[in-house]
Amino acid sequence: MTTEAKSSSRERLLEAAATLTYRDGVGIGVDALCKAAGVSKRSMYQLFESKGELLAASLEERAAAYVTTLLPARDDDRPPRERILHVFRQMESQAGEPDFQGCRYLVVQIELKDQGHPASRVAHRVKENLAAFFRAEAERGGASDPGLLARQLMLIFDGASARAGIRADTATGLIAPTVTVLLDAAGMH
């Protein structure tokens, strides 16, 4: 297999893994992934050690775009309170998309259960980075307990994402007021 063919097969497998596992869950079979990518199982196993490694690579590849879409830019000079609210506005916007199934990183952690799974480790790191962002902004904004506020914000983020993903509720008009109450209670400015 040429380097170009390997690269193309790899990209197709990563895309198939992202699309199918988000839509159908991490239990999707190797056969279905390979069929969607137009790649043989043999080729898949030449490129990835296992389906778990493929899923982890797919999540890793999308992490930067996820962060860029969700978080404000580093040079965004809005106050910490507004930077935190930005994240929830972005999530609310994503939750309004017709194919939204919840935060893909939370979904993977819930479905896999095994925290040692390669994809779980990637998902955990992405979620920890979001919590670290909340904590840093809470510290900058003078929150009385930045660690607690970060945990509360993660609870709101993950809960709202999950409920929107299963169509149990809409995020519109619910998230920002809830987050605002938490920010006020924490003394954020």
List, for residues 115-125, the tens digit of each pLDDT value: 999 999 999 99
Instruction: Give Dmax (Cα) for the chain.
Output: 60
pLDDT, tens digit, for every residue of 9-59? Answer: 999 999 999 999 999 999 999 999 999 999 999 999 999 999 999 999 999
Q: Are 69 and 118 within 8 A, CB to CB?
A: no
Confidence class for position 166, pLDDT limits 50, 70, 90: confident
Residue 3 has pLDDT above 60, yes or no: no
Confidence class for position 88, pLDDT limits 50, 70, 90: very high
Residue ranges and CATH numbers for the domains of the chain are 1-48 (1.10.10), 62-185 (1.10.357.10)
* CA angle (108 as vertex; 23, 15 as ends), nearest 5: 50
Average pLDDT value for residue range 68-96 = 93
Predicted confidence at residue 165, as pLDDT, reads: 85
